[in-house]
Amino acid sequence: MKNTHTSRFMKSNTKVILYHGSNQAVYQPRINKNVFTTDFGNGFYVTANRRQAEKWAKRKARYSGQPTLNRYVFDADQPDLKILVYQADIDWIKFVIQNRMNNIKDNSDIVIGPTADGKLFSVVNCWKHGNLDLDEALLKLKPSVYSEQYCFKTERALKALTFIDKELVR
């Protein structure tokens, strides 16, 4: 069902630059708890796609603060971390739906996979009422349009993430 990090990060000493869009500098990432509108459940979300993080920053700063792009390096050479990697497939859509319905117990440290688009709530509703099957739901969400996201779910995982710098988004 899920892939582990060994298929994803084959080289030792692998470092990945990741971005977090916010309305402020985030020097010490924290796991967001009780957030029910996220694809992979509670965690600290980042992406390797700078433009996607800039969009997230602008969205967060609509109401307060300044759109801020935070940059981190992720030391992926952490054999003790349980890293789940999803592709845009049925397993991914099941995992996202279960997280959005707050109906999952997940013991991973990090989850990596596509970002679901903004239609997720209506798609989940249609699926719950039997109007869509999982294949149709996957097509409607168009996960290939969006960049990959990383969700750091444990304090242990956050220790592999180091703040580099921040900049304001124009």
Report pLDDT for 99: 82
Report pLDDT for 109: 96
Q: Could you tell me if 151 and 43 are in contact, meaning their C-beta atoms sit under 8 angstroms apart?
A: yes
Report pLDDT for 33: 77
Over the chain (170 residues), the average pLDDT of each successive run of 10 is 44 82 97 76 94 95 97 92 88 82 82 80 78 80 75 96 97
Q: How far apart are CA 115 and CA 40, in angstroms?
A: 9
Q: How far apart are CA 37 and CA 32, in angstroms?
A: 11
What are the residues whose beta carbons fall under 8 Å from the beta carbon of 96, sequence distance 6 or more?
A: 39, 40, 116, 120
Domains present along the chain, CATH in parentheses: 3-168 (3.90.175)
- H-run or E-run covering 141: helix 134-141
Closest CA to 53 of 18, 16, 17, 20: 20
Q: Tell me the whole-structure pTM to 2 decimals.
A: 0.84
Q: How far apart are CA 21 and CA 51, in angstroms?
A: 9
